[in-house]
Amino acid sequence: MSVWSRILELASSAFEPDEPAPFEECAPQPNDVGFTAAVIGLAAKMAKADGYAAQVELEAAQRVFRPPPAEEGNFRRAFVLAQQTVLGFESYAKQIGRKYKARPCLLEDVLDGLFHIAGADGDVSADELAYLAEVARLFGFSELEFRRIRATNLGPEAGDPYAVLGLPPGASAEAVRQAWRKLAADNHPDTMLARGAAPEFVAIAVEKTAAINAAYAAIREQAAAIVD
């Protein structure tokens, strides 16, 4: 078995639940090595997007894909090979976006993992954000949807908690409530645990849930202040 085949087999566990039936819409098709290869390629090129591939970004990718100790060397070599240039990332993103456009929660999982790698060195640069925005576009996400995904991973811009809920400023109270309930349920850590997600994705879910709840609370406080 080649190094890449072995890595793909190991990496697939990051997205494929142990018992996929209840959450099939958020998992790739069984044994889809093309999906896993594309995700590893996107992750490696994400680390290179700002022109400098930091060691902590590789380590973040290892935590997401969880290769066993005996395979860590092979994983690092394959990752470093893929991150030599960002050229070609569009084909990876288009491939995944076309195949899984009906599974947006899976595509959002991929973006969450990329945000995690981008922020592993303590900062998400403008070049990295541009990379993430283009990947999201090629996945089929709208600008408003990317604004939400960015805000739940990095925090909303000052005074804009609506971004976390994927809503335009001033959305109705009912729209806010519905968006909060859906996002809170979809991103709850228990949901990720039930899907058999890797610990790194469960940790991301904890942070996203906190951001979603904080945004909802901030909007309610703003509304109460207006009424008063």
Q: Tens of pLDDT along 21-32?
A: 445 677 788 777
How many CB atoms sit inside 10 A of residue 90's CB? Answer: 14
The CATH T-level fold of domain 157-228 is: Helix Hairpins (1.10.287)
Residue 31 three-state SS: coil
Q: What is the dihedral of CA 120, 140, 94, 193, to 10 degrees?
A: 50
Residue among 144, 72, 153, 91 at smallest CA distance from 120: 153
As a whole number, the mean pLDDT across the chain is 80
Confidence band (pLDDT; 50, 70, 90) for 68? low
| Residue 215, pLDDT above cutoff 50 | yes
Residue-wise pLDDT tens digits, 49-63:
776 666 787 777 777
Q: What pLDDT does 141 receive?
A: 95
d(CA 83, CA 179): 37
Confidence band (pLDDT; 50, 70, 90) for 7? very low
Residue limits of CATH 1.10.287.110 in the chain: 157-228
Q: What pLDDT does 65 receive?
A: 67
Q: What pLDDT does 175 receive?
A: 94
Q: What pLDDT does 135 receive?
A: 96
Confidence band (pLDDT; 50, 70, 90) for 6? very low
Residue-wise pLDDT tens digits, 136-153:
999 999 998 999 999 888
- In this prediction, residues 31-43 reach a mean pLDDT of 78
Q: What pLDDT does 53 receive?
A: 65
Q: What pLDDT does 226 receive?
A: 62
Confidence band (pLDDT; 50, 70, 90) for 19? very low
Chain centroid to CA 180? 19
